[in-house]
Structure 1
Amino acid sequence: MTNFISQLIHSDKANPSEMLSSIHRKVSALVHPSPSSFTNQPVQPRSLSNTNWDISINFKGAKDLPRGDLLSSDPFLEAYLGPPEDKTSLSFVTGVEWATLNPNWNATWSLLNVMDGMELQIQVKDKNKMMVDTDLGHASLVLGANLDGTREHFIDLWKPNGRRQGQLLIETTAIRSYGASAELKGPSTKGPARYSRHTSYAAGVLTKDKKLEFYTYRIRLYHLADIFGVDTERYQGWNRDYEASQRIFAETIDGQNIRNALHSQHALLYRHGRSTVYGALATANELGELLHGDRWRKDPGQDLKTVVFTYSIVPKGMYFSETGTAFFQDFMSKHAMHANRATEVLFAGEFRLYKDEHHNNDWTLLIDNNSGTYAPSKDELYKVQQLFKLNFPDLLVRAVDREDPYLKELVEATKKAEAAQASRQSQPMALFGANVGSSEQEVLSSHNQANHRCEL
């Protein structure tokens, strides 16, 4: 098997597309166990809770909000089931509506097994691009039996100075918890996972005088605390045996400068603006459309197995982007940049998302722990697999170690297939070079001067 793959990879006459197809047919059965290899899980008895509720909350919008700046606001909403400062509290965030005092968020949060009488804490903020977000006001809503059925709520917003200004429009649908929901140990989020896609033109590679877009993504995956816990001592710290990590996290002037640069890179690539796209993901198809929809429309024949993403998972969600060799070659650490120079993460590595034509054309996530900066243990890979299955039940997830021989063969095949494309990219554009637009340069300058930590 290994000899077959090696011959394909090192053959000068091998067509990259045919080579990958041949490799994938050979290793697909090994990557994807047959259905009979899975242990059937016992069906939970259908039970009824007399006190707990499953509640869908639609944050429709607001009217007459306070101004966050001179003329208007860029409002977004955060909601917490429990104290906002408590790391174990379930949380939700809408997208940003730009330049309006009457936003239409239309964002839905579905909760399971909510105890009668729990209070939903709501905060509305004005998004600021180059400084801390401004608090516009707060509100609350008691959840439980009082919401039985479908109801609309007009809730007053209270400004930080104690004055009332503006109203929130919220629609709730509540039913008694039953079945698997009633068996949960406590409140839980059903979904959907909220995402934001950020566009950077400065990070695009200049090819034939055309400026290309570069996307970074943030997905607020749920059940992070359930799976990884909230004790930071148990998180994955930086790799002390890795030279690059030692330089990044050294308590020296050089280390501080590197961390500031990573912070500025993160701030630029994940900044919110009018080109930022917000939405929700509940299915594998929706995830595939987000990551590959534009690609399909531009190049329907591209093999998605050759598209690799670099990711870091932190308590606020998953941050990632496509691993572009030309753009990222000057980065000290891609994973530390995505994690905003965090000294510890929940997990980090690389992944591929593709449709497996040999297994019912199902969407397949092949995810690993390939991060030199944080070097997560292969013994923790099952947690990542569990995380994605909870967020995307119809997604086929396989978590493999970075030293897996078949993954290594696929990586080598991908490199060979990408060589032609890389050769067409004349030279990378420096992230902080002359081609950075004036507005993006202002963001970098502001973050370097302020030297504050971005929200993860």
Structure 2
Amino acid sequence: MSRPSMDTYNVLITIHRAANIPAADIHNLSADPYILATLNAPSRPQPPEEPRLRWRTPTVRATRDPVFNNRWLIGGAPQDGFILKLSVVDEDTKDRDDRLGGAVMAFTRDMMREGFEIKERELKVQKRQGSIVPYILTYMEGILPGHKVRKHNRIVISAKVIGRTNDQDDFRVHTIGPNTYSLHFSPMIGSVVNRRNRATKDQPNKTTGDEKRPVSASTFVACKLQLTGPVPKELHHHYVGYNWFIKMLYSRRGLSGRLLFHSLRKQYRTVYSYDKSTLYGIVEPKEDGETDSGYASTNSETQSQAFAKQFLEMTNYGRGGRLQTYVLTLDAQWRFCETGDEFAIDFLSKHMMHADGEQIVAYAGEFFVRRIAESHGGELRHEAGRKDTEKGSGYPAEEDDDDPSHYELVIDNDSGTYRPPESTLPVLQTWLEDKHRLGALGRVTAMHCSDKKLQALKKQRKELKKHLAGGELPKRQQVRRSGSSTSSIRVDGRKLSSGEVERIVSEKERENEARMSDGGPQQLSGKQSQRT
């Protein structure tokens, strides 16, 4: 890729609020709105298979006049300008979010200069970009005594051109910050995979989300963590087209391909579901001041410390032999959750699920966190709980330690869907251990998935997890398909029941397993063989 001929800029976009949005919930004539921002740079065309640059605000509950005050700092905005599309969406249960309308703002070439600023500009929400039902409900509200039709739907935003992008060689528009995160809770999945895990049963419940709902320690958690972008140009991996099964999923050819892709997308929306228990946050060190970009500087040592601590908290400091499956998107969003044979997400392609069916990601694989001291004394000895020690199991107690410099991230490229090559692991390691990201950790180690030392470490973690579960891990459950199927769906004009969906998916899984076991032409061997 050649160097662009024009300058690129950092732009801070602030989504302040919206007003008079349509009523989407009939029970209270209100809504649970959020804004989905999408950026398009016409002068920088991107391949159609690459995902658009997007940003989602947290959801505001039970209001038609939501206040967000949500900041989004982008880099690499071209001198020719860009188009910002803002969609107002009502969050609903069972993957039935309603589009309430949208607004568009064009940033022209005249605006793209350092210091240019727009303060609290009102953008009209266009009805044609939304669903018809909320608007019908809004007009029906005017019939009720004491109510009137609320018109003049608006979104209020501000924008400021901070300055030129440091890396002019990277022409992709990307997210710089802030370092936002969200935790998505699934009690049903957790009740299946952790039902025998004594370690989780002994831990106290906690509260989360807008309504401070109780969440047990056994609840399954999926995480999203925004890293400071951009990702290196070398981290750009397309799904493997030579695996016929994966290619069928992505191409969505025929009835089977469409069904499989639909099931996978449904599973993503189940694992990463947004509801009243979803926990949102921004990594901001308390002692740091704000910069002209509108939030704490990602260059500061305190920001690096705060970010590393948040990451360790989201991974529970690696306790209990936890192993995480992850995808790093092209826009530096890290998506991960605990993995294992007993987990519901081992279905079709777990990395494709984390990517929400995107054809290209920056990286994919597995990782775990461990205390650096473990590498000198044996991993299992440093991770068992206190009660096991009291019972004389031979597993010493864990020590409470929240110092990031005492922990190591071990990350690999174990993804059969995207297959990042071994040669890119040093690039990933250097990028992650930079001060803008996880530089406060004691160590970041990137290892190839076929490394025997790595395989031994993973085996130790599995043994520890089995020990904590009482000597036996739950077997893989059929409930793993919950959320991936629906009561009925329509494909190519044909209505299919959930039973038919399950049958077709099962048949394709058996066909794939049979073909691979027969050593077909798509099967790999040796170091290239990885799990799908």
What TM-score range do you get, normalising by the shorter chain? 0.5 to 0.7
1:371 match: secondary structure: coil
Report deviation, 1:432.
2.9
Partner of 1:19: none
Q: Does structure 1 conserve the Cα–Cα contact (< 8 Å) formed by 2:240 and 2:247?
A: no
Q: Does structure 1 conserve the Cα–Cα contact (< 8 Å) formed by 2:41 and 2:78?
A: no
1:105 is aligned to 2:63? no
Q: Does structure 1 conserve the Cα–Cα contact (< 8 Å) formed by 2:30 and 2:63?
A: yes
Report deviation, 1:103.
1.8
1:402 match: secondary structure: coil
- Matching of residues 97-136 of structure 1 within 5 Å: 97-112=60-75, 114=77, 118-126=81-89, 127-129=91-93, 130-131=95-96, 133-136=98-101
Partner of 2:342: 326
1:269 is aligned to 2:271? yes
Q: Does structure 2 conserve the Cα–Cα contact (< 8 Å) formed by 1:355 and 1:361?
A: no
1:158 is aligned to 2:125? yes
Partner of 1:449: 489
Partner of 2:457: 410
Q: Does structure 2 conserve the Cα–Cα contact (< 8 Å) formed by 1:123 and 1:139?
A: yes
Name the CA shift for 1:80/1:363 in 2 (closer, same or farther; >3 Å): farther
Q: Does structure 2 conserve the Cα–Cα contact (< 8 Å) formed by 1:110 and 1:189?
A: yes
Determine which of 41, 52, 55 is the counterpart of 1:92. Answer: 55
Cα distance in 1, alignment partners of residues 345 and 37 from structure 2:
39
Deviation digits for residues 38-82 of structure 1 (CA, Å, limit 9, x no counterpart): xxxxxxxxxxxx986543333232222233454233322233443
2:466 match: secondary structure: helix
Q: Higher mean Cα deviation, 375-384 or 254-263?
A: 254-263
2:104 match: secondary structure: strand
Structure 1 letter corresponding to 2:343:
F
Q: Does structure 2 conserve the Cα–Cα contact (< 8 Å) formed by 1:66 and 1:101?
A: yes
Cα distance in 1, alignment partners of residues 444 and 120 from structure 2:
39
| TM-score, normalised by the number of residues in structure 2 | 0.58
Report deviation, 1:226.
4.2
Q: Higher mean Cα deviation, 375-384 or 328-337?
A: 328-337
Q: Does structure 2 conserve the Cα–Cα contact (< 8 Å) formed by 1:306 and 1:417?
A: yes
1:278 is aligned to 2:280? yes
1:105 match: secondary structure: strand
Q: Does structure 1 conserve the Cα–Cα contact (< 8 Å) formed by 2:99 and 2:129?
A: no
2:342 match: secondary structure: helix
Cα distance in 1, alignment partners of residues 349 and 76 from structure 2:
41
Determine which of 105, 112, 118 is the counterpart of 1:140. Answer: 105
Structure 1 letter corresponding to 2:335:
Y
Determine which of 129, 154, 166 is the counterpart of 1:167. Answer: 154
Structure 2 letter corresponding to 1:449:
I
Report deviation, 1:268.
1.7
- Matching of residues 387-402 of structure 1 within 5 Å: 388=432, 392=437, 394=439, 396-402=443-449
Report deviation, 1:169.
3.4
Q: Does structure 2 conserve the Cα–Cα contact (< 8 Å) formed by 1:351 and 1:368?
A: yes
Structure 1 letter corresponding to 2:64:
L
Q: Higher mean Cα deviation, 188-197 or 255-264?
A: 255-264
Name the CA shift for 1:151/1:450 in 2 (closer, same or farther; >3 Å): same
Name the CA shift for 1:165/1:324 in 2 (closer, same or farther; >3 Å): farther
Partner of 1:202: 188
1:293 is aligned to 2:317? no
Deviation digits for residues 215-247 of structure 1 (CA, Å, limit 9, x no counterpart): 112345543584445xxxx61316739xx8699
Determine which of 364, 371, 376 is the counterpart of 2:420. Answer: 376
Name the CA shift for 1:72/1:394 in 2 (closer, same or farther; >3 Å): same
Name the CA shift for 1:367/1:133 in 2 (closer, same or farther; >3 Å): farther
Partner of 2:238: 235
Report deviation, 1:252.
8.7
Deviation digits for residues 86-110 of structure 1 (CA, Å, limit 9, x no counterpart): 5586442222223322222232222
Partner of 2:135: none
Deviation digits for residues 304-352 of structure 1 (CA, Å, limit 9, x no counterpart): 4932101234557443211244334964543343344566654321012
1:361 is aligned to 2:348? no
Q: Does structure 1 conserve the Cα–Cα contact (< 8 Å) formed by 2:23 and 2:31?
A: yes
Name the CA shift for 1:146/1:202 in 2 (closer, same or farther; >3 Å): same
Report deviation, 1:197.
1.9
Partner of 1:61: 17
Q: Does structure 2 conserve the Cα–Cα contact (< 8 Å) formed by 1:309 and 1:350?
A: yes
Determine which of 221, 230, 251 is the counterpart of 1:223. Answer: 230
1:327 match: secondary structure: coil
Cα distance in 1, alignment partners of residues 7 and 247 from structure 2:
52
| TM-score, normalised by the number of residues in structure 1 | 0.66
Deviation digits for residues 249-293 of structure 1 (CA, Å, limit 9, x no counterpart): 897977776555444432321222111223345655455444543
Partner of 1:43: none
Structure 1 letter corresponding to 2:154:
Q
Name the CA shift for 1:239/1:55 in 2 (closer, same or farther; >3 Å): same
2:190 match: secondary structure: coil
Name the CA shift for 1:158/1:336 in 2 (closer, same or farther; >3 Å): closer
Q: Does structure 2 conserve the Cα–Cα contact (< 8 Å) formed by 1:54 and 1:110?
A: yes
Q: Does structure 2 conserve the Cα–Cα contact (< 8 Å) formed by 1:68 and 1:136?
A: no
Cα distance in 1, alignment partners of residues 266 and 12 from structure 2:
37
Report deviation, 1:398.
2.8
Report deviation, 1:201.
1.1
Cα distance in 2, alignment partners of residues 57 and 246 from structure 1:
38
1:197 match: secondary structure: strand
Q: Does structure 1 conserve the Cα–Cα contact (< 8 Å) formed by 2:326 and 2:354?
A: yes
Structure 2 letter corresponding to 1:349:
G
Q: Does structure 2 conserve the Cα–Cα contact (< 8 Å) formed by 1:228 and 1:235?
A: no
Partner of 2:364: 348
Name the CA shift for 1:74/1:411 in 2 (closer, same or farther; >3 Å): same
Cα distance in 1, alignment partners of residues 52 and 267 from structure 2:
30
Q: Higher mean Cα deviation, 317-326 or 137-146?
A: 137-146
The runs of 5 or more residues in structure 2 that have no matched partner are 1-5, 131-150, 202-215, 284-297, 376-402, 493-532
1:189 match: secondary structure: strand
Name the CA shift for 1:423/1:330 in 2 (closer, same or farther; >3 Å): farther
Cα distance in 2, alignment partners of residues 425 and 294 from structure 1:
25
Q: Higher mean Cα deviation, 309-318 or 412-421?
A: 309-318
| Paired positions, count | 384
